[in-house]
């Protein structure tokens, strides 16, 4: 479901881009990222699984959609330095679970518990693997982007940001925490379709962690997050 939502949003972001591309000359230049300029971006992205680096949980899927304000702090001949703030109203984490019957004969009420991973373990006669999605929202109040070749149509961009995420239940496992911190490193390409419109396609290494505020767990989630954004420049 999250993948379908991501593909729909991705296509909707590119629709106006394709319509405008025909009128863009080959030698295209822009001054949208001048010092003091503002950028307003809508973005969404998806990670089909989680990796184990800082975080220790496996098989988590992550979908996020948000909007951001970017301010150009300093612009030179070829580099623009931007301060970023992002609001993330939709964060969906799909977590593997073990569904267990509470009765001895395996026909009673079912209880779902999230796990770090299944690990090929024998779940017993009254349990089976499952999956559930947990909703959350977040804020990324501090971030920085660096655009290279800032006057050109195709601009490589790298960045970093940090923030927080609040979920309806503990993430990534039970007895961890519903309040988490977030951190990401990103890189991609920002493509200007006109002097005041652009599309960004990129990758984030995205980390979710409760910073040892859980009781007693802090396994964390690391995601290979692919995202796309559409920007208005003023």
| CB 62, CB 75: distance < 8 Å | no
159 contact partners, CB below 8 Å, separation of at least 6:
82, 84, 143, 144, 145, 146, 185, 186, 187
Residue 224 lies in a domain: yes
- Which phi and psi (to 5°) does residue 2 adopt? -65, -35
pLDDT along the chain (234 residues), means of 10: 53 49 63 97 97 90 98 96 98 86 60 63 66 95 97 97 96 90 97 95 97 84 97 96
Please give the Cα distance from 153 to 198 (Å, whole number). 9
188 contact partners, CB below 8 Å, separation of at least 6:
156, 157, 200, 201, 202, 203, 227
Q: Does residue 216 have a cis peptide bond before it, meaning omega lies within 30 degrees of 0? A: yes
- pLDDT score of 74: 97
Residue 148 lies in a domain: yes
Tokens of 68: 């951001």
- pLDDT score of 224: 96
- Per DSSP bridges, beta strands 127-148 and 110-114 are unpaired
| CB 47, CB 224: distance < 8 Å | yes
Residue 60 lies in a domain: yes
- pLDDT score of 116: 67
Residue 114 lies in a domain: no
Please give the Cα distance from 65 to 91 (Å, whole number). 7
Query: Which residue has tokens 């106006």?
Result: 16
| CB 146, CB 160: distance < 8 Å | no
Number of domains in the chain: 1
Q: Does residue 213 have a cis peptide bond before it, meaning omega lies within 30 degrees of 0? A: no
- Give the structural domain span for 160: 2-13+32-95+133-233
- pLDDT score of 21: 45
Residue 82 lies in a domain: yes
CATH code of 140's domain: 2.40.160.20
Tokens of 204: 């984030």
Residue 175 lies in a domain: yes
- Torsion region of 220: left, alpha or beta (phi above 0 gives left; psi -120 to 50 gives alpha): left
- pLDDT score of 92: 98
| CB 83, CB 70: distance < 8 Å | yes
Residue 59 lies in a domain: yes
Please give the Cα distance from 209 to 168 (Å, whole number). 15
Residue 113 lies in a domain: no
- Look up the pTM and report it: 0.81
- Which phi and psi (to 5°) does residue 39 adopt? -130, 135
């Amino acid at each position: 479901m999250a993948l379908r939502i991501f593909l729909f949003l991705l296509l909707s972001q590119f629709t106006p881009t394709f319509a405008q591309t025909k009128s863009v000359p080959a030698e295209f230049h822009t001054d949208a990222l001048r010092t003091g300029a503002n950028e307003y971006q809508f973005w969404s992205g998806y990670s089909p699984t989680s990796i184990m680096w800082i975080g220790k949980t496996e098989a988590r899927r992550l979908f996020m959609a948000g909007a951001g304000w970017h301010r150009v702090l300093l612009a030179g001949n070829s580099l623009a330095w931007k301060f970023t703030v992002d609001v993330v109203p939709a964060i969906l984490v799909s977590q593997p679970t073990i569904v267990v019957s509470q009765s001895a004969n395996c026909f009673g009420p079912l209880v779902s518990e999230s796990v770090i991973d299944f690990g090929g373990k024998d779940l017993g006669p009254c349990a089976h693997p499952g999956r559930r999605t947990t909703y959350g929202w977040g804020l990324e109040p501090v971030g920085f982007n660096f655009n290279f070749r800032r006057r050109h149509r195709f601009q490589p961009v790298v960045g970093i940001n940090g923030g927080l995420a609040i979920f309806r239940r503990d993430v990534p496992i039970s007895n961890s925490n519903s309040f988490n911190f977030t951190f990401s490193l990103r890189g991609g390409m920002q493509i200007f379709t006109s002097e005041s419109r652009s599309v960004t396609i990129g990758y984030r290494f995205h980390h979710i962690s409760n910073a040892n505020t859980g009781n007693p767990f802090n396994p964390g989630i690391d995601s290979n997050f692919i995202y796309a954004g559409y920007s208005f420049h003023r």
